[in-house]
Amino acid sequence: MKKDIVSMLPEELEADFVQLNEPKYRAAQVFRWLGRGVRDFEAMSDLPKSLREKLKESYEIYAPKVLRKQVSAIDGTIKYLWELRDRQAVETVVMSYQHGNTVCVSSQVGCRQGCAFCASTIGGLVRNLTPSEILDEVIFSQLDSGKEISNIVLMGIGEPLDNFDNVMRFLTLVNHPQGMNIGMRHISLSTCGITERFDDLAARDLQLTLSVSLHAPDDETRSKLMPANRGRGVRQLVKCCREYYEKTGRRISFEYAMIDGVNDTAYHAKLLADIAREVSAHVNLIPLNHVEERPFQPSTQGHMKAFIKILEEQQVNVTVRRRLGSDVDASCGQLRRKRERSAQQAAAQSEGLS
């Protein structure tokens, strides 16, 4: 089987090149080509032909194809649907802020976590993304959009901590000085709260920001919205967040999608304030993005204002995330869902015809 070369680190390439009787410095050359998005060995013009032939024999190389690209008329947000080598599809979003361009990447095809408001999880988990597939979301979004990417959020389709090893390798690749060279402080990893992995993550001693999708401060509401809470519970989550903060010195950020009549009352705000203070966390409020298959609606402006007021009175550090790309299905998983729905409709129609 051919190796996935884009997932390899320079030192691993070096070890291989020694086996192939090639000088070590060739590995650094190849790694730089790969980091620039070159996905054809023939285009690596400073390599001798004999080496290019060897590379073709030993390694697999692939460039994701743009299946769909939508550009928001409101704020320029770009949403990509990529086709992977096995014809599965994942989404990437490029958002422009004053401080630079942020790419939101997927870490899995589908998701097994089953959050009740989320579009990505509807068909369950199909498979993990490889390190190269996650990296290519960043590289090819930058190449296609012409926007230099300065920040990365792992907030697309999938649960990054359910694909731990591949996500860690992606981080090493994207952070590499001879690659994209994106600093860890410019990267956020978002989790629904897979607390068993917090220690492993803290042990890597990365300078990234851990975002925890809290969405409710009490077990009753949270377990209804997020199956990951069942069997873990808010208390355990809070304890693990606190420990993570103590070990890494990195403040956690709580994501909180405001859902009308579900998690947006004064009761929820007060409990959330207690938890945020206990963990020294920053709270990021997001008005829920309505998903067609889901019964939930975003909170009203009035409810959001009252909620924010309570948090601020309790000295909680809170921001409201601007909604970007609302006209391009920018909420995670929606574009992939659309493609699946139309495939199902086409299948149903052809069955009806036969």
CB 64 within 8 A of CB 140: yes
Asked about 91 being catalytic, the answer comes back as yes
159 touches ligand SAH (CB under 6 A): yes
What minimum distance in Å lies between the beta carbon of 307 and ligand SAH?
15
Q: For ligand SAH, which residue of 255, 272, 279, 285 counts as binding (CB under 6 A)?
A: 255
166 touches ligand SAH (CB under 6 A): no
The H or E element containing residue 227 is none
To the nearest 10°, the Cα dihedral for 290, 291, 293, 296? -30
Closest C-alpha among 161, 157, 152 to residue 179: 152
Query: Rounded CA gap, 352 and 354, in Å?
Result: 6
Query: Rounded CA gap, 249 and 205, in Å?
Result: 10
Q: 78 vs 286, which CB is nearer to ligand SAH?
A: 286
The H or E element containing residue 202 is helix 198-203
Q: 286 vs 328, which CB is nearer to ligand SAH?
A: 286
Catalytic residue among 14, 22, 91, 137: 91
The contacts of residue 225 (CB under 8 Å, 6+ apart) are: 115, 116, 117, 215, 216, 259, 262, 263
Site residue total, ligand SAH (CB under 6 A): 17
118 touches ligand SAH (CB under 6 A): yes
What minimum distance in Å lies between the beta carbon of 35 and ligand SAH?
25
Query: Rounded CA gap, 113 and 301, in Å?
Result: 29
307 touches ligand SAH (CB under 6 A): no
Q: For ligand SAH, which residue of 6, 125, 192, 276 counts as binding (CB under 6 A)?
A: 192
CB 63 within 8 A of CB 140: yes
286 touches ligand SAH (CB under 6 A): yes
141 touches ligand SAH (CB under 6 A): no
What minimum distance in Å lies between the beta carbon of 213 and ligand SAH?
3
90 touches ligand SAH (CB under 6 A): no
Q: 34 vs 288, which CB is nearer to ligand SAH?
A: 288
What minimum distance in Å lies between the beta carbon of 290 and ligand SAH?
7
Q: For ligand SAH, which residue of 8, 206, 241, 291 counts as binding (CB under 6 A)?
A: 291
What minimum distance in Å lies between the beta carbon of 192 and ligand SAH?
3
Question: Candidates 166-174, 180-188, 190-198, 338-346 — which segment interacts with ligand SAH by CB under 6 A?
Answer: 190-198
User: Quick one: three-class SS letters along 127-190?
Assistant: EECCHHHHHHHHHHHHHHHCCCEEEEEECCCCCHHHHHHHHHHHHHHHHCCCCCCCCHHHEEEE
The two structure tokens encoding residue 19: 């086996």
Looking at residue 321, the DSSP 8-state letter turns out to be: P
What minimum distance in Å lies between the beta carbon of 167 and ligand SAH?
11
Query: Rounded CA gap, 31 and 25, in Å?
Result: 10
Restricted to residues 320-339, the positions that interact with ligand SAH (CB under 6 A) are 331-332
CA distances for 7 relative to 11, 61, 229, angstroms: 12, 10, 33
Closest C-alpha among 133, 22, 131, 4 to residue 80: 133
What minimum distance in Å lies between the beta carbon of 189 and ligand SAH?
8
Looking at residue 189, the DSSP 8-state letter turns out to be: E
Asked about 104 being catalytic, the answer comes back as no
Binding residues for ligand SAH (CB under 6 A): 115, 117-118, 155, 159, 190-192, 213, 255, 257, 286, 288-289, 291, 331-332
**What residues are labeled active site?**
91, 332
